[in-house]
A = this chain, B = another copy of it.
């Protein structure tokens, strides 16, 4: 029996989580919702975010989701508890899996004195201090660094690995500034945790920049860590025989054309047949 996994985000970033899920749990069916008409969640009040996240979760449950992944850091930080209380299916967020992976990375590197985790995230996620709490409960000390320019840089497609030298320079320099400032503040950093679902697209560049700054620590991708937890939850064994990929349905609450266009970059494969859905204001 193939499970149907529901995944939602306020926009496109959650597609980096879906990308890892498609690789880690390839034979499941997926139903993805990008609540693009109401993005960004990050600047809204807690009440509003809970309301939006609940309606997104409910929509996916009604569309067959048997397990729900909240692929949005803000919604995980502010609404995970409420969604779990309402929906009769398992609900996973992106924060605790990221923290667990960071703890493993610190342990593996035998960094006894380096229990510091540098969390890169949006302003809203930093202000929620959800990562600081999650890390504290795992015995790690988080330094949370807001990086407001990274989302627009990713959405502009100004990748440092891209083909254009002029835009690459900008993104590389922005990463050097953010990471330089953060490491100065947190020199005992043993791992860097990507606390925004847009950032995995910059992972290679972040690793390179950490090396250039003389601080080559592991970079943990919450998307990947979340996919691993989902695979565990479903008892998926790796390395089995060939699998037939399941269905993948996409819904968005604003322009489906834009969702398809921008989404393809995040998913790393074409995002097609996006359907428009109205969840209200």
- Which residues from chain A sit less than 8 Å from chain B, CB to CB? 37, 39-40, 43-45, 48, 148-149, 152-153, 155-156, 166-167, 169-170, 173-174, 176-177, 254, 281
Contact = CB atoms under 8 A, between A and B. Distances in A.
Most chain B beta carbons < 10 A, residue from A40, A149, A167:
A149
Contacts of A281: 48, 281
Give how many copies assemble into the complex: 2
A178 B172 CA distance: 17
A75 B176 CA distance: 36
| Prevailing SS type, chain A contact patch | helix
B170 A166 contact: no
A173 B169 contact: yes
Given A149-B156, A166-B173, A170-B173, 20 more contacts: A37-B44, A37-B45, A40-B43, A43-B254, A45-B254, A48-B281, A148-B152, A148-B156, A149-B149, A149-B153, A152-B152, A166-B176, A166-B177, A167-B177, A169-B173, A170-B170, A170-B174, A170-B177, A173-B173, A281-B281
A148 B150 CA distance: 12
A152 B158 CA distance: 15
Contacts of A169: 173
A40 B42 CA distance: 11
A174 B177 CA distance: 15
A170 B160 CA distance: 14
Leading 6 A-B pairs by shortest Cβ distance:
A148-B152, A170-B173, A149-B152, A152-B152, A166-B177, A170-B174
Most chain B beta carbons < 10 A, residue from A48, A148, A170:
A170
A170 B171 CA distance: 8
B43 A39 contact: yes
A162 to B, nearest CB: 12
Contacts of A254: 43, 45
Contacts of A48: 281
14 contacts: A37-B44, A37-B45, A40-B43, A43-B254, A148-B156, A149-B149, A149-B152, A149-B156, A166-B176, A166-B177, A167-B177, A170-B170, A170-B174, A281-B281
